[in-house]
Amino acid sequence: MIRISEKEGTAVVADAKREIVIDTKALNLWYGQDQALKNISLQMSEKQVTAIIGPSGCGKSTYIKTLNRMVEMNPLVRINGQILFKQRDIFHRNYSVEELRTQVGMVFQKPNPFPKSIYENVAYGPRIHGIRKKKLLDEIVERSLKNAALWDEVKDRLNENAYGLSGGQQQRLCIARTLSIEPEVILMDEPTSALDPISTLKIEELVQELKKDYTIVIVTHNMQQAARVSDQTAFFLNGEVVEFNDTVTLFSNPNDQRTEDYITGRFG
Ligand SMILES: Nc1ncnc2c1ncn2[C@@H]1O[C@H](COP(=O)(O)OP(=O)(O)OP(=O)(O)O)[C@@H](O)[C@H]1O
């Protein structure tokens, strides 16, 4: 059952039966003097896919990079408001960034494997977390590659360099790398924008599989993609959330004229 309520001017959608995994409350963010996020309030439920859509420069990437605190690598960034991950404030000094990034993994726009073997790309994270036993690492590598729908294509060439894979395979390898440390949330920042249509379709199918086990947030420029893969969609404009609703409703019966203009291609 989807519950829709109004909170601080922003619609929030929550599935009453599911745990809220990410709860963003009145989040504001500035790059120096320029405000990039304005009073963002969004809730994301477990094992749901949330799409973030909106025109270029509206704050999609900034928002998703705030969820694992990557945005703060920029010293100009100033933030107020709250983001709770399973009710814990991610900005609290007792919550280390390393711990957060173990729980909230990220896949980027361009596939960015390490210049290492396919095996080492996936084993890297678990090794950093102290796993040394070869048998256990082998199991993790196999499981992660299977869950990223890549195992069958690479099982006979695990020791070859990851750069020898196609772009789509590299992106699935990056997803396997993210899965290897067993996060709860996977952030995807335009994960298919550098890929061909067939590789894009594979990633979209993979997202549908992964949501059985993970909470997923995906930034996309592609509205058809948002409609295909997500359960709920947030439409951002000029750093604000104009509308947040279950995906079918947002695309078929938007509440706000600006959403309608965007999804019908009148701007952006
Ligand atoms: N490192 C930065 N320093 C200063 N301003 C930035 C920086 N990164 C982004 N911005 C500004 O913040 C705003 C939001 O940018 P952001 O990249 O989050 O938008 P976006 O919706 O992801 O855009 P796109 O779809 O083009 O990737 C823009 O006005 C942008 O110019």
> 22, 23, 18, 24: which is closest to 3 by C-alpha?
18
230 within domain boundaries: yes
**Residue 268 domain flag:** no
In a domain, 201, yes or no: yes
Report strand pairing: 104-107 vs 185-189.
Answer: parallel
ipTM beyond 0.95? yes
Using the mean position of ligand 1's atoms as its centre, give its distance from the Cα of residue 36 in Å: 7
Asked if residue 42 has pLDDT above 90, the reply is: yes
Confidence of residue 15 (pLDDT cuts 50, 70, 90): low
Question: Which residue range is the domain that position 209 belongs to?
Answer: 2-263
From the CA of 62, how far away is ligand 1's center (Å)? 6
At 13 the pLDDT is 57
Task: Please report, to the nearest 10 degrees, the dihedral formed by the alpha carbons of residues 241, 94, 48, 170 taken in order.
Answer: 100
What predicted TM-score, i.e. pTM, was given to this entire model?
0.92
The arithmetic mean of pLDDT across residues 38-45, rounded, is: 97
pLDDT surpassing 60 at residue 9:
no
Does residue 21 register a pLDDT over 50? yes
Residue nearest to atom 26 of ligand 1 (CA): 56
- Per the prediction, the chain carries an average pLDDT of 92
| Distance, CA of 146 to CA of 67 (rounded, Å) | 27
Residues above pLDDT 90, as percent of the chain = 91
91 in a structural domain: yes
Per-residue pLDDT at 17:
79
Enumerate residues lining ligand 1, CB below 6 A.
31, 34, 36, 54, 56-62, 74, 76
Classify each residue of 214-240 as buried b or exposed e, where b means 16 or more C-beta atoms within 10 Å of its C-beta.
bbbbbbbebbebbbbbbbbbbbbbebb
Mean pLDDT for the stretch of residues 80-107: 96
Q: Report the interhelical angle of 118-128 vs 167-179 (nearest 10°).
A: 20
Q: How many domains does the chain have?
A: 1
Q: How far, in Å, is the centroid of ligand 1 from the Cα of 148?
A: 29
Distance (angstroms) between ligand 1 centre and the Cα of 63 equals 10
Q: Which atom of ligand 1 is nearest to the CA of 58?
A: 21
User: What pLDDT does 267 receive?
Assistant: 72
Assess if residue 191 is contained within a domain.
Answer: yes
Rounded to an integer, the average pLDDT of 235-256 is 97
Which of 29, 35, 52, 61, when mutated, tests ligand 1's pocket best, judged by the most ligand atoms within 8 Å of its CB?
A: 61
2-16, 31-45, 97-111: segment of lowest average pLDDT: 2-16
Place of tokens 């829709």: 4
Q: Distance from the CA of 17 to the center of ligand 1, in angstroms? A: 35
Q: What H or E segment, with its residue span, contains residue 240?
A: strand 240-246
Which long-range contacts (C-beta less than 8 Å, at least 24 apart) are formed by 244-247?
244/10, 244/11, 244/12, 244/13, 244/42, 245/4, 245/11, 245/13, 246/2, 246/13, 247/51
What pLDDT, in 10s, does the model give residues 128-151?
Answer: 999 999 999 999 999 999 999 999
Strand-pair category, 215-219 with 49-53: parallel
54 CA: nearest ligand 1 atom: 21
Domain-embedded: residue 41: yes
Give me the mean pLDDT over the 226-240 stretch: 97
Atom number, ligand 1, closest to the C-alpha of residue 239: 14
Residue 247 and residue 233 in contact, taking contact as beta carbons nearer than 8 Å: yes
Question: Measured between alpha carbons, how far is 222 from 201 in angstroms, rounded to an integer?
Answer: 13
pLDDT (0 to 100) of residue 8: 41
Per residue in 184-214, pLDDT (tens digit) is 999 999 999 988 999 999 999 999 999 999 9
How open is the CA angle 211-250-252, to the nearest 5 degrees?
Answer: 110
- More confident position, 241 or 2: 241
Q: Is 59 exposed, middle or buried (0-12, 13-18, 19+ CB in 10 A)?
A: buried
Residue 97: CATH number of its domain = 3.40.50.300
> Which stretch of DSSP H or E encloses residue 15?
strand 10-15
Residue nearest to atom 4 of ligand 1 (CA): 31
For ligand 1, atom 30: residue with the closest CA: 57
Rounded to the nearest angstrom, the distance between the alpha carbon of 131 and the centre of ligand 1 is 37
